[in-house]
């Protein structure tokens, strides 16, 4: 069964059992809405805009030339990227799990799909998703084109701007409906960049209480990155996929969405023991996601699943035949 279908079924069952959204979902929507509004405010209040139509470039409320605008924005841009690098290196990919606008819309599409049972509900869901995609694209459009093009521009300018906006909306909608979180799992260039920074982390998912685990595998079924949440620390180097190269670790691929922890909590409500998985600051021994030195793969085995080259309970490569 495809990953998305299994994930939908498990998430739907957990939501019914829980009787509402998990706290991580509330946090995620709060952060996503706040971030989107903050980004939308930049062109709306002329704090930052590169106007490809009329050349009305703005920075902090002042209309400047293109070169001057880019010069003024260079230092804040570098500072933001430095903060992203440091956060990804030491905390992991929380930007992917809680901030990324695409990830939020893809999860909204998941939520609509799970709850749409009848044909009428499915059509209503498509309309709602198209409206959200349109709103996101309007924000992106505002950075690059002054909206006065539709009232003051020539017929050609209006046609080009309209086609550009329509193309953005349709492309985004198709991408969300056809790829969803698979884009994050395989094709996101920013995700690959963050992954390369985060082989080791001070913060992430920990299999803190294995004695409480019932081996239901719900955590694995809901992981949008198709990882093994119980094997984050000391996990194997993984095969490359999509834009991701060989040799990535569980920690580097984990987007810190917390779905595995939410699933673990949902399946442990009747248990008296602590929840097996947790997400937060990691103890010293759980920060390294690379295989221990005695079980490093040989060059010809690098990039393969650990189960293919390590015998159970030993640090020696498994030889077939």
* 252 part of a folded domain: yes
Burial of 294 (0-12, 13-18, 19+ CB in 10 A): exposed
Give the 3-state secondary structure of residue 57: strand
Determine the pLDDT at residue 303.
46
Q: What's the pLDDT score for residue 312? A: 42
Residue 191's nearest CA partner among 252, 109, 259 is: 252
The verdict on residue 88 lying in a domain is: no
Tokens of 118: 């009848």
**What is the pLDDT at residue 296?**
47
Give CA–CA dist 97/253, Å, rounded: 11
| pLDDT (0 to 100) of residue 37 | 93
User: Is the distance from CB of 55 to CB of 155 less than 8 angstroms?
Assistant: no
pLDDT of residue 135: 96
Domain assignment present for 49: no
Identify whether 153 is part of a domain: no
Q: What pLDDT does residue 321 have?
A: 39
Q: What is the pLDDT of residue 294?
A: 43
CA 135 to chain centre: 19
222's CB contacts (< 8 A; 6+ apart) are 7, 10, 11, 14, 259, 260, 262, 263
Q: If you search the block for the tokens 């992954």, which residue do you land on?
A: 195
pLDDT at 3: 64
Instruction: Provide the token pair at 288.
Output: 């390294």
288 domain-assigned: yes
Number of domains into which the chain is organized: 1
* DSSP code for 268: S
Q: Which domain holds residue 253?
A: 189-309
Note the residue count of the chain.
Answer: 321
The rounded distance, in Å, linking the Cα atoms of 142 and 136 is: 10
Measured between alpha carbons, how far is 250 from 248 in angstroms, rounded to an integer? 7
- Whether 170 maps to a domain, the answer reads no
Per-residue pLDDT tens digits of the chain, which is 321 residues long = 456 778 888 888 888 887 888 899 999 999 989 999 999 999 999 999 999 999 999 999 999 999 999 999 999 999 999 999 898 888 889 999 999 999 999 999 999 998 898 999 999 999 999 999 999 999 999 999 999 999 999 999 999 999 999 999 999 999 999 999 999 989 999 999 888 887 777 888 999 999 889 899 999 999 999 888 998 876 556 677 788 888 787 888 899 999 999 999 988 765 667 899 999 998 876 666 554 444 444 545 444 444 454 444 444 444 433
**Does any domain span residue 262?**
yes
Residue 203 in contact with residue 90, Cβ under 8 Å?
yes
Is residue 113 one of the residues assigned to a domain?
no
């Amino acid at each position: 069964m495809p990953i998305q279908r299994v994930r939908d079924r498990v998430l739907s069952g957990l939501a019914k059992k829980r009787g509402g959204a998990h706290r991580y979902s509330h946090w995620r929507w709060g952060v996503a809405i706040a971030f989107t509004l903050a980004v939308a405010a930049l062109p709306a209040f002329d704090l930052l805009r590169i106007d490809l139509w009329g050349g009305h470039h703005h920075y902090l409320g002042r209309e400047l030339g293109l070169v001057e605008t880019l010069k003024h924005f260079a230092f804040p841009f570098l500072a933001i990227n430095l903060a992203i690098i440091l956060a990804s290196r030491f905390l992991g990919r929380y930007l992917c799990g809680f901030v990324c606008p695409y990830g939020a819309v893809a999860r909204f599409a998941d939520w609509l799909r799970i709850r749409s049972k009848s044909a009428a509900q499915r059509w209503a869901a498509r309309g709602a998703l198209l409206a959200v995609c349109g709103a996101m694209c309007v924000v992106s459009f505002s950075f690059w084109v002054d909206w006065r093009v539709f009232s003051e521009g020539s017929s050609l300018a209006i046609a080009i701007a309209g086609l550009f906006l329509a193309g953005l909306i349709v492309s985004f909608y198709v991408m969300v409906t056809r790829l969803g979180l698979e884009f994050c799992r395989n094709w996101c260039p920013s995700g690959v960049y963050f992954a390369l920074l985060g082989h080791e982390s001070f913060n992430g998912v920990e299999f803190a209480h294995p004695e409480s685990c019932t081996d239901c595998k719900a955590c694995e079924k809901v992981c949008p990155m198709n990882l093994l949440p119980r094997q984050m620390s000391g996990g194997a180097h993984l095969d490359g996929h999509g834009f991701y190269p060989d040799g990535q670790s569980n920690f580097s691929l984990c987007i810190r969405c917390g779905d595995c922890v939410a699933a673990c909590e949902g399946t442990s409500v009747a248990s008296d023991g602590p929840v097996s998985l947790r997400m937060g600051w990691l103890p010293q021994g759980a920060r390294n996601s690379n295989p221990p030195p005695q079980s490093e793969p040989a060059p010809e085995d690098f990039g393969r699943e650990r189960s293919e080259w390590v015998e159970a309970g030993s640090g020696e490569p498994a030889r077939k035949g």
